[in-house]
Amino acid sequence: MAAAALAIGASAAAPTVTVRSSSYGPIVFDGRGFVLYAFTADARGRSRCAGDCAKAWPPYVVKSAPRGRLLGTARRSDGSLQVTYAGRPLYYYVGDRKPGQILCQNVLEFGGRWLVVKAGGGLVR
């Protein structure tokens, strides 16, 4: 379903990122309620997650830049646009199968830690 979330997000005319309450406090979700993660191995505005990493952690890819105070995009190595929040590229976790589900917070994988993103752009550790 996370792969479906990626496909739906990619085809949306106006990609959406929202802040919602969770057990980790107010954090970032896509417009359909799927949580978005950041990868600590990424440089600001540049994804280091590709191949098997991107299969497990699909990037939030869009066709047009989102609008919002902390929103932006980063160009991936394949040329696609990935949504960023406070400069951090955003990802789904393939195991999160329904809105609101957060199954991989604070996981060390693919050379970095995967963390949900606070409303102000910081990471929940």
Check residue 66 and give its pLDDT.
Answer: 87
Residue that has been written with the tokens 């106006």 in this structure = 14
Q: What is the pLDDT of residue 13?
A: 52
| 57 located within any domain | yes
Query: Could you give the number of structural domains in the chain?
Result: 1
pLDDT value at residue 39:
98
The CA angle 9-11-12, to the nearest 5 degrees, is 65
The answer to whether residue 125 is domain-embedded is: no
Q: What is the pLDDT along the chain (125 residues), one digit of tens a residue?
A: 333 333 334 444 567 899 999 999 999 999 999 999 999 999 988 999 999 999 999 999 999 888 888 999 999 999 999 999 999 999 999 999 999 999 999 999 999 999 999 999 999 99
Which residue range is the domain that position 38 belongs to? 2-116
pLDDT at 2: 36
Domain presence at residue 121:
no
**Is 77 a member of any domain?**
yes
